Amino acid sequence: EDKVVQSPLSLVVHEGDTVTLNCSYEVTNFRSLLWYKQEKKAPTFLFMLTSSGIEKKSGRLSSILDKKELFSILNITATQTGDSAVYLCAVEKIGRSGGSNYKLTFGKGTLLTVNP
Amino acid sequence: KAGVTQTPRYLIKTRGQQVTLSCSPISGHRSVSWYQQTPGQGLQFLFEYFSETQRNKGNFPGRFSGRQFSNSRSEMNVSTLELGDSALYLCASRGTSHDEQYFGPGTRLTVT
């Protein structure tokens, strides 16, 4: 059975801190790993990672995938109160023609609270 | 471009009733997936539709069903509601298999 485990489950930091969120997975026919941010509404897409060792960056957020050790990390530097949210990690498998099989398996998420 | 829309946003039903939720994907997206989100189980995949055909199904009982119309809009139906069906139901649409999924705002279903 496919499995995605995120750690920690929750984290409380002060503004300006740097945080690292972890996601490990066990899935056959792995295609990609995705990170989402969820506030009190729909998850919003952050990153899609398919290749090992290549860092993706967007402002203060960055993420990297290790396909050999089967994990990914999401880093947030200089955290702000607006970063408070649940961060979700999901994996998808290879479907027909090498693309996605269109079924995401999610971890339980990490609840990040950034205090002023 | 308009995002994924879901109706209704909130719903309260009684045990034993049935419910239909609706999802309109981003224009041009033909794949629509449904997910159930609960505090205990997190986000779980229900099913995925493409060109009116169900291509993938998660591990949910037969009370959960869906369909997709020729304009790619999708509906999800839950019959004989149980208290445990209380959840946020999220719909997501996707362009090609190499794109990411975009989620709608969800329908919050409460079963009493």
A67-76 burial, b if ≥16 CB within 10 A, otherwise e? eeebbbbbeb
| Contact A103/B at CB under 8 A | yes
pLDDT in tens, B11-22: 999 999 999 999
Q: pLDDT at position A95, please?
A: 75
Q: How far apart are CA B49 and CA B74, in angstroms?
A: 8
Mean pLDDT, residues A72-92 taken together = 97
Would you give the DSSP letter of residue B64?
Answer: E
Cβ of B106 within 8 Å of Cβ of A105? The answer is no
**CA B29 to chain centroid:** 15
* Predicted confidence band of residue A98 (pLDDT cuts 50, 70, 90): low
CA B13 to the chain's CA centroid: 17
The pLDDT value given to residue B56: 86
What is the rounded CA–CA span in Å between residue A101 and residue B57? 11
Residues A5-28, mean pLDDT to the nearest whole number: 96
Residues of A in contact with B98 (CB under 8 A): 99-100
d(CA B6, CA A102): 19
Q: How many CB atoms lie within 10 A of CB A45?
A: 16
Average pLDDT rounded to a whole number, residues B49-59: 91
The residues near B41 (Cβ < 8 Å, ≥ 6 apart) are: none
Q: Please answer yes or no on whether B48 and A102 come within 8 Å at the CB atom.
A: yes
CA distance B98 to chain A (A): 6
For range B47-63, the mean pLDDT = 92
Structure tokens, A95: 């479907």
Query: In this predicted model, what pLDDT tens digit does every residue of A40-79 receive, in sequence order?
Result: 888 999 999 988 888 899 999 999 999 899 999 999 999 9
In chain A, which residues have their Cβ closer than 8 Å to the Cβ of B101?
Answer: 34, 45, 104
* Among candidates B35, B100, B105 on the partner chain, residue whose Cβ is nearest the Cβ of A41: B105
Residue A2 scores a pLDDT above 80: yes
Which chain A residue has the Cα nearest residue B38?
A108
Euclidean distance between CA atoms B91 and A64, whole angstroms: 27
Q: According to the model, what pLDDT value does residue B91 have?
A: 97
pLDDT tens digit sequence for B56-79 = 899 999 999 999 999 999 999 999
Q: Is the pLDDT of residue B1 over 70?
A: no
Each residue of A101-114: pLDDT tens digit?
Answer: 778 899 999 999 99
